[in-house]
Structure 1
């Protein structure tokens, strides 16, 4: 395999790292695997990332930021709060065996042992909860919802979604997506009042 020039873009290296991580898992990804897949030297990987942990954390953040771009677009839109809540939940809800959810599940597991990854995953994870809580609070303010504590409601809703996403991703034969979405809708109605 011919080596590519050392001026490989960081963005391209991160994309390659994400592909390798999805295939091998965070725990089994080595810097050499990423270098080989990118067609660069391992020294170049270490030029961009001081440690393997830094590489994994930045690759995880890179992948998560792609998902969060959709969240940011919804959160900053001018749609009514009830529609905003529905759109945020649609973005967050599992879509079956998705690579994004597999990466998040793997990231949570590795965050137990990797401080860099824990910090990145916590920061990115909280963005979902904060955006949902803000949309719920706006809905309470305009009378769309009845909810005593939008922050707690956002935590309960996203925690249910997290658990269902784990089951759909890891054990897809136990639960179908349609049932999971029904349960999520029931939870939202319980938390916020009228159906979305």
Structure 2
């Protein structure tokens, strides 16, 4: 049900999704939905928690990769690409907006953002230590790279005519390469 809830929320948004929409998409009754989730807010929070856990699992798998930092950076940038699946980004963008009003969603999104930045910072630090990267401030670089990714994702998914996915990916690769002191073609 949580997967279905995420799909419906990504399509309609938190503000326009009804529990009836989720129940119908899941092929269950609203009564069954409310048996498992006491309130609509609880359902939304658990659905977003489910989506966040999937993203955390993906980040964990990148962290466990036994590859050089440059390869791990490539994998992370592909995974977090602003041009990735629209459904996923729509859910995240809408969740960020809802986080202004929901302490639970804010906590989940903040922890997830932090995990991504820590992973990126660790990759950069490892690359610097091994002489593969040149970066004076890996923490600041991780903030700038993720801020660019998030901002471009908003542009692509809110204003789809403003920027192509290919151009956004190029902008991210170029910026990330400059942050770590490698050629953009290497990313």
TM-score by length of 1: 0.86
- Unaligned segments of structure 1, at least 5 residues: 1-12
CA contact (8 A) 1:96 1:168 kept: no
Alignment of 1:88-99 (within 5 A): 88-95=76-83, 98-99=86-87
Alignment correspondent of 1:147: 135
User: In structure 1, how many angstroms separate the alpha carbons of the residues matched to 2:150 and 2:179?
Assistant: 16
Question: How far did residue 33 of structure 1 move?
Answer: 2.5
Q: How many pairs were matched up?
A: 184
8 Å CA contact 1:137–1:150 kept in 2: the answer is yes
CA-based RMSD of the aligned residues comes to 1.7
Deviation of 1:51 (Å): 2.4
Check conservation: 1:81, 1:139, Cα contact below 8 A: yes
What's the counterpart of residue 84 of structure 1?
Answer: 72
Greater helix percent: which structure?
2
Corresponding position of 1:49: 37
Secondary structure in 2 aligned to 1:27? helix
Please tell me whether residue 24 in structure 1 is matched to residue 24 in structure 2.
Answer: no
State the Cα deviation string for residues 64-110 of structure 1 (Å, max 9, x = none). Answer: 33333332212101000111111111111122661111111111111
In the alignment, the residues of structure 2 paired with residue 35 and residue 152 of structure 1 have an alpha-carbon distance, to the nearest angstrom, of: 44
2:95 match: 107
Distance 1:194 1:56, change over 3 A: same
> What's the TM-score, normalizing by structure 2?
0.90
Choose 1 or 2 for highest CA Rg: 1
CA distance in 2, matches of 1:119, 1:50: 20
Q: State how far apart, in whole Å, the 2-side matches of 1:179 and 1:41 are.
A: 44
